[in-house]
């Protein structure tokens, strides 16, 4: 349920309007753009001094790797055949998997002088409550304000059949009978210099502190490469496929990096519209 770009045509991006503020204040704003990261540091802008870690290079973001992590790239179709099957596509998100948890990362262009996370939280909450019939609640986390959502997840026979036996056996009988179960999703955002990084977390890490700590360290250690090209606010920054993905497939080494089918949806946890 990532925010849609349709609102760009409906209202101007905040922070881009002409104001009557004095020249001195305007110059000060240019010298002090939105800052990235939490009080403890990270996520990082590529122009900052950031800690040296082993990272996968996805182009606009570099994501830390660690034992037990799996990575997948989510694609959005750009061409389809007559039957609607994808022929070509572009990478739009990085999915980080750890045990029973998943975190999807997306990075967007943002205005130079203001962040967009406040607007994104409000729009995301509205979409969830009106379109998904879910519930939302704002709170504070290690990276500042965040959004917690509960949405009804379908439990059809097809969905149940695809679940591992140990997972299916833990689902309460009343959820199976009603055909849906409550699903908790955590939205985290950080405004950086001319970029916005969003993480969407689901799975055991919502309540399991150990699994969350692994994903938090990944998010905190991520570096954003915004580039100098002008882009409309909320446009996705371009992602690339790391060379390690193809090397893993050639060498058969998949300990830390998973091979993937570009058009296999996999465990997507947001919708890119």
Dump pLDDT digits (tens) for 40-61.
Answer: 688 999 999 999 999 999 999 9
CA distances from 231 to 50, 75, 109, 235, 252 (A): 25, 21, 6, 7, 39
* pLDDT interval class at 164 (50, 70, 90): confident
- 202 closest CA partner among 267, 144, 255: 267
pLDDT tens sequence across 217-268? 999 999 999 999 999 999 999 999 988 776 655 555 444 344 333 333 333 3
pLDDT tens sequence across 91-118? 999 999 999 999 999 999 999 888 999 9
pLDDT at 21: 32
- CA angle centred on 139, ends 133 and 145, rounded to 5°: 110
Instruction: Pick 180 or 16 by higher pLDDT.
Output: 180
| CA–CA distance, 122 with 50 (Å, rounded to integer) | 31
Tokens 């999703």 label which residue? 185
Residue 237 is encoded by which pair of tokens? 């920054």
| Three-state DSSP state, 54 | coil
Any idea how long the chain is? 273
Q: Which residues in 99-174 belong to E strands, given as ranges?
A: 101-109, 135-141, 144-154
Domain segments of the chain as ranges: 32-79+87-126+187-251
| CA–CA distance, 74 with 260 (Å, rounded to integer) | 10
| Three-state DSSP state, 242 | coil
pLDDT mean across residues, the chain: 78
- CA angle centred on 161, ends 159 and 164, rounded to 5°: 100
Res 16 pLDDT > 80: no
| CA–CA distance, 67 with 65 (Å, rounded to integer) | 7
* pLDDT interval class at 148 (50, 70, 90): very high
- CA angle centred on 98, ends 72 and 199, rounded to 5°: 65
- 137 closest CA partner among 145, 97, 231: 145
């Amino acid at each position: 349920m990532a925010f849609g770009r349709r609102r760009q045509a409906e209202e101007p991006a905040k922070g881009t309007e002409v104001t009557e503020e004095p020249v001195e204040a305007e110059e000060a704003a240019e010298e002090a753009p939105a800052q990235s990261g939490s009080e403890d540091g990270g996520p990082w802008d590529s122009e900052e001094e950031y800690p040296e870690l082993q990272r996968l290079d996805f182009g606009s973001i570099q994501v830390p790797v660690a034992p037990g992590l799996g990575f997948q790239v989510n694609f959005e179709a750009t061409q389809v055949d007559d039957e609607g099957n994808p022929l070509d596509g572009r990478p739009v998100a990085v999915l980080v998997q750890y045990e029973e948890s998943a975190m999807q990362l997306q990075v967007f262009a943002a205005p130079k002088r203001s962040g967009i996370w406040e607007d994104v939280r409000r729009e995301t909450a509205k979409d969830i409550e009106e379109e998904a019939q879910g519930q939302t609640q704002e709170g504070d986390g290690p990276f500042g304000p965040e959004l917690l959502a509960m949405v009804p997840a379908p439990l059809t026979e097809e969905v149940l059949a695809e679940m591992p036996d140990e997972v299916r056996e833990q689902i309460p009988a009343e959820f199976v009978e009603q055909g849906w179960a409550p699903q908790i999703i955590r939205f985290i955002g950080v405004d950086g210099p001319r970029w916005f990084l969003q993480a969407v977390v689901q799975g055991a890490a919502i309540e399991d502190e150990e699994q969350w700590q692994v994903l938090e360290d990944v998010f905190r250690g991520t570096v954003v490469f915004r580039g100098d090209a002008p882009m409309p606010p909320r446009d996705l920054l371009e992602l690339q496929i790391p060379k390690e993905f193809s090397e893993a497939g050639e060498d058969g080494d998949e300990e830390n990096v998973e091979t993937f089918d570009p058009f296999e949806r996999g465990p997507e946890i947001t919708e890119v519209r």
